[in-house]
Amino acid sequence: MADYQQMWSDLGMDLEKHDVLCEVLPEAFGGVYLSQQNRPQGMGFYDFVVSEIHGVRPAELIEHQKTGGKILGTFCVYVPDEVVFAAGAIATGLCGGSQFWVPGGEKVLPANTCPLIKASVGARLDKTCPFFMIADMFVGETTCDGKKKAWEILAQDVPIHVIDIPQMKREKDIAAYQQEILDFIQVVEEFTGNKITPEALGESIKLINNKRKALQRIYNTRKVSPVPISGKDALLVTQIAFYDDPARCAEMGNKLAEELEERINRQEGVFPADAPRILITGTPMAIPNWKLHHIIESAGAAVVVEELCTGTRYFENLVDESATTIEGQVKALAERYMKTNCACFTPNPGRVDDIIRLAREYKVDGIIDTNLQFCNLYSTESYLIKQALDEIGLPIMHIETDYSENDYEQLRTRVEAFLEILGKQV
């Protein structure tokens, strides 16, 4: 990795603590990723991004700031990136996915808080992630109680705008979310000093749609057996999409998809054609959370699709590009984003429908419903998911986990037992 010490120091990071993370990440990545056989060549780009994870993209963001541009950090797929890019700013995902940051979060949050929130707060307060230090403003939302309160703590340290996400999906809720987007436009305009014109918003809608289309194209190749890309690699691509430049993300994604399509023509896969096919649903897996995928795929099964925010929820629906006024574009944005089925909504039958549809499209043998500890929304919704899947006879296993490695062996045993139940050769 190039030498970024000066850049990290200028950002006010805790270099000593950060060095610890820099030491462990390459080893973790090597063990989980580089040990895989027959990876697509296109993964080389994503491997490079990880090898420079706290260097190359942060340096680009700082360059943008030098020319007067702003960086906005986000934590949820309900935050419309289109608005940020339309104002000449850059949106970057900030969710923390490492146990490394959890103790920092526990200094100010109750221990029985979801690890995603603890890691996100810890990364900022411990000053051990450049992305958290670079962002000029954080954009929070009201999706869950833990996050809502965490914003108040983070607001003592960094400017935050909180988007009020409705809890239901009635007409009046969609209208309320539309108003939230209009308010967000105003906030972003004031913060950046740039007016958001219909032309600029139209362009950024296309930009983000193109990124979604590239990810859709990659995921489509996973419907085929033998599957041309591992679940671990597909997850990495999606995780990186949250903070890479969207145009480059689309370009590299399309390149990878092309290679995967060629693999399909040659019937070349990374798992045997009869390997069990697994759908993962539940709470998001922020980078570098690869634990469950690694356990499943090390046991010989293929993860072929993720009904997660770091999966299909991130890119499944496109924004209608035909509107030419801000009002029309905001309506199109609201309609698209409100199609996302997060457990923060009540009721949320769309998620059950999505899981069943995806299970059929991707021809899965079993479903693993994973829940980050202390996420009440998803753990409670698990009951309804299981009920619906039991009714149609789709095998499902629920797990509750965190970012630590403490339960690794226990999870491995449970996953192996589940795969055995599926009655497939592993």
Q: Which residues bind ligand BJ8 (CB under 6 A)?
A: 76-78, 114, 116-117, 143-144, 146-147, 283-284, 309, 340, 342, 344, 372, 375, 377-378
Is 214 within 8 Å of 238 (Cβ atoms)?
Answer: no
Closer CB to ligand BJ8, 344 or 359, in the complex: 344
> Residue 144 and residue 39: Cα distance in Å, rounded?
37
Rounded least distance, CB 386 to ligand BJ8, Å:
18
> Residue 343 and residue 414: Cα distance in Å, rounded?
25
CA 325 vs CA 83, 160, 207, 331: distances in Å: 14, 28, 17, 10
Q: Cβ–Cβ contacts within 10 Å for residue 373, how many?
A: 17
> Residue 303 and residue 47: Cα distance in Å, rounded?
19
> Residue 410 and residue 317: Cα distance in Å, rounded?
36
> Residue 227 and residue 355: Cα distance in Å, rounded?
19
Count of all residues that appear for the chain in the document: 426
Closer CB to ligand BJ8, 224 or 292, in the complex: 292
Rounded least distance, CB 313 to ligand BJ8, Å:
6
Tokens of 95: 């969710």
Rounded least distance, CB 219 to ligand BJ8, Å:
17
Rounded least distance, CB 158 to ligand BJ8, Å:
18
Closer CB to ligand BJ8, 339 or 386, in the complex: 339
Closer CB to ligand BJ8, 11 or 344, in the complex: 344
Rounded least distance, CB 311 to ligand BJ8, Å:
10
Closer CB to ligand BJ8, 76 or 367, in the complex: 76
Closer CB to ligand BJ8, 271 or 378, in the complex: 378
Tokens of 241: 């999409």
Closer CB to ligand BJ8, 114 or 367, in the complex: 114
> Residue 96 and residue 116: Cα distance in Å, rounded?
6
Q: Which helix (H) or strand (E) holds 92?
A: strand 90-93
Rounded least distance, CB 173 to ligand BJ8, Å:
15
Strands (E), 189-314: 277-282, 302-307
> Residue 25 and residue 11: Cα distance in Å, rounded?
21
Rounded least distance, CB 403 to ligand BJ8, Å:
11
